[in-house]
Structure 1
Amino acid sequence: MTYRAAPGRYETMQYRNAGRSGLKLPVISLGLWQNFGGARDYPSAFEILGAAFDAGITHFDLANNYGPPPGSAEELFGQVMARDFRPYRDELIISSKAGYNMWEGPYGEWGSRKSLIASAEQSLRRLGLDYVDVFYSHRFDPKTPLEETMGALATLVAQGKTLYVGISNYPEAETRKAHAILQSLGVPCILHQPSYSILNRWIEDDKTIDACGELGIGMIAFSPLAQGVLSGKYNTGETDGARGTSNNPFLKADRIKPETLDAVGKLGVIARARGQTMPQMALAWVLRRPELTSSLIGVRTLNQLKDNLGALDNLSFSAEETAAIDSAVAGGLTPSHPKWW
């Protein structure tokens, strides 16, 4: 059966400019990390992807190593593009990244010109596309001159292989330097993609969020639910399929502090008073900052997608609610500053 996008798909979604660029992103974007790898069949994947686009989610975020196994998320999305999304290519924002380990040898990770350009070529082949809309340097490389890494991004723009470029996981000082280099090359840095959540506020502590606001770089937060911790599932024990019970190296259930679970329990009381689920409040909290263009969600099921979209019904916070949230998490914060070097 031929897919036809819902005619009212732009009626309820909200869109924000990516920094000072003209590119608008939906305030909720869909990331394909972890949940759209080789174990996901096409029908169950497209059930979510199609429903997301029908709800106005135009931005689908990928990277070369997303899976598992690495590359499989791009391959799956390439099938979706070929079979169902092709007529809507000009309505979609598709992003990819390079920087984490992808293939054997010295060129399969980090930020050299060799690595980034080779990875971008591979990603385009997997996706079956001539270009992506945004291509990121996935992490700062302390052993490669930043001029080389940013120069590679500028080359990809000049070659027509990406329309825009961004950075991900860059601390404040490196963010400023990357922006300056790209500006000198005539290529704006329009997006920064860091981890950010009620529990993980490193971009506030590090002042990266302030730098992005000053420089006109939009921010798109990943892990706004702190790898599922802010769903409340680890408090209730309903963890079937949860990332903390998988091989996810970024979260293990036995590493979640009791203080963090206590904080989540207190947050649940605040969410219910707002008439929201925990995920809805967590997404709204991230988007309360004007520097934030979008929040990336990673869902396993259609029900999770629908619940997350409910955040759109209430994105504002009173001063009292913000203070209550800060008080609730005072002892349970889990900062995750990206010190890769």
Structure 2
Amino acid sequence: MDGLKLRSVGRTDLQLSALGLGCWQFSNGRGLIGGYWSSIAERGVREIVETTLDGGINWFDTAEIYGRGGSERALAHALSTLDVASDNVVIATKWWPLGRRAASIAQTFPERVSCLSPYPITLHQIHQPFSLASIPSQMKEMARLHEQGLIRAVGVSNFSAAQMRAAHKALAGYGIPLASNQVKYSLLDRRIERNGVLDTAHDLGISIIAYSPLEQGILTGAFHRDAERLKVLRGARKLQVTAKRIETSRPLIDRLETFAKKYEATASQIALHALVTLHGELVFAIPGASNVRQAQENAGALHISLTEEERSEIQELSLRVVANG
């Protein structure tokens, strides 16, 4: 089975695998955001990172808010322990804008560099459209980092279509393309196809980076095979992974499982592959991993080749399941 080749991110010269590893789980259980996941031991993080790289994934996505820098530090430590050369890996991170002005981007950047040292920040992103500053002001600060050679690409996250256009226009004034918009997107959450975000990405040449591409584990089929798993969910995840969603998504999961048997794969691998091939090379995805098995499954999705007919069938069934909600 042929693997997915590296792709250009937006209209930049950055080349990434269709899948990256989302590192939210490396937060060590710290903070309001990081506490969403249980802590992973240092050895576990290292094994996940090593498995990810061995599987052909060449980039990692983290953020300032993930464990208040804990995720960044854990990732950098794992890469250093594995003696991974800085030019063999790509790091994307995100600035947390809530309650801050644009000047905070430059002010907090040295801390991001320190947390990720010795690995450079390649793609720097605005995490949410919640800053106290205007989008042009934020893009001006990002452009400065880019012009100083401190980052190679500028991205945003959770931006609407209008906000994407504003960021794109502002960066264009500095001769810099907006590389990406990181948004929630999966076979069970297709809102960006209706709210203009996907169309805008197409129009402006901006990549989509899909977070939560397995819909908090629903698309793995694990909850369909064992409903008892629902009882051990904690925190906000209990509100997202419900018995109703498991039941309404069952027809899609059953079909993913059928294709998984054909390709000696898993439902999650079929779901990931289908997502990142749904719109040519426009969509990247960043599934997370809490253990080596999940990291292996993620990377394995790069090495599947669904037929056009199979992709179409998954697409149609996905749309039907979403419509039935």
Same fold (TM over 0.5): yes
**Conservation of the 8 A alpha-carbon contact between 2:64 and 2:72:** yes
Among candidates 67, 70, 82, match of residue 68 of structure 2:
70
In the aligned structure 2, how far is the partner of 1:94 from the partner of 1:72?
Answer: 15
**Residue aligning to 1:196:** 185
In the aligned structure 2, how far is the partner of 1:55 from the partner of 1:194?
Answer: 24
The alpha-carbon deviation at position 27 of structure 1 amounts to: 1.0
In the aligned structure 2, how far is the partner of 1:265 from the partner of 1:306?
Answer: 24
The alpha-carbon deviation at position 193 of structure 1 amounts to: 1.0
In the aligned structure 2, how far is the partner of 1:19 from the partner of 1:255?
Answer: 31
**Residue aligning to 2:223:** 234
The alpha-carbon deviation at position 233 of structure 1 amounts to: 2.7
Q: Supply the AA of the counterpart residue of 1:264.
A: S
**Residue aligning to 1:178:** 167
The sequence identity of aligned pairs, in percent, is 27
**Where is the helix percentage greater, Structure 1 or Structure 2?**
2
**Residue aligning to 1:271:** 256
Map residues 210-225 of structure 1 onto 2, 5 A cutoff.
Answer: 210-225=199-214
* Higher RCO, 1 vs 2 (CA within 8 Å, ≥6 residues apart): 2
Structure 1 counterpart SS, 2:181: strand
Structure 2 counterpart SS, 1:297: coil
The alpha-carbon deviation at position 158 of structure 1 amounts to: 2.0
Q: Supply the AA of the counterpart residue of 2:247.
A: D
Structure 1 counterpart SS, 2:216: coil
**Residue aligning to 2:5:** 14
* Structure 2 residue 80 is the aligned partner of structure 1 residue 90: no
Show structure 1 runs of 5+ residues with no match.
1-10, 333-341
**Residue aligning to 1:99:** 96
Residues 95-135 of structure 1: per-residue CA shift (max 9 Å, x gap): 1101255xxxx54xxxx222222232211111113731010
In the aligned structure 1, how far is the partner of 2:83 from the partner of 2:65?
Answer: 22
**Conservation of the 8 A alpha-carbon contact between 2:8 and 2:16:** yes
**Conservation of the 8 A alpha-carbon contact between 1:19 and 1:217:** yes
Q: After superposing the two structures, state which structure 1 stretch, 278-287 or 312-321, moved more.
A: 312-321
**Residue aligning to 2:295:** 305
In the aligned structure 2, how far is the partner of 1:47 from the partner of 1:60?
Answer: 14
**Residue aligning to 1:246:** 234
* Structure 2 residue 315 is the aligned partner of structure 1 residue 322: yes
Q: Supply the AA of the counterpart residue of 1:289.
A: H
Residues 205-256 of structure 1: per-residue CA shift (max 9 Å, x gap): 112111111111112111101111222233323538x9x8233x4x32x554
Change (3 A) 1:264 1:163: same
**Residue aligning to 1:337:** none
Structure 2 counterpart SS, 1:157: helix
Q: Supply the AA of the counterpart residue of 2:279.
A: R
In the aligned structure 2, how far is the partner of 1:327 from the partner of 1:167?
Answer: 30
Change (3 A) 1:231 1:283: same
Change (3 A) 1:215 1:277: same
**Conservation of the 8 A alpha-carbon contact between 2:216 and 2:240:** no
Q: Supply the AA of the counterpart residue of 2:77.
A: Q
Show structure 2 runs of 5+ residues with no match.
30-38
RMSD: 2.3
* Structure 2 residue 96 is the aligned partner of structure 1 residue 125: no
**Conservation of the 8 A alpha-carbon contact between 2:97 and 2:126:** no
TM-score using structure 1 length: 0.82
The alpha-carbon deviation at position 13 of structure 1 amounts to: 5.2
Map residues 89-168 of structure 1 onto 2, 5 A cutoff.
Answer: 89-99=86-96, 106-107=99-100, 112-129=101-118, 131-141=120-130, 143-168=132-157
Count matched residues.
306
* Structure 2 residue 280 is the aligned partner of structure 1 residue 280: no
**Residue aligning to 1:6:** none
The alpha-carbon deviation at position 36 of structure 1 amounts to: 4.9
**Residue aligning to 2:33:** none
Structure 2 counterpart SS, 1:140: coil
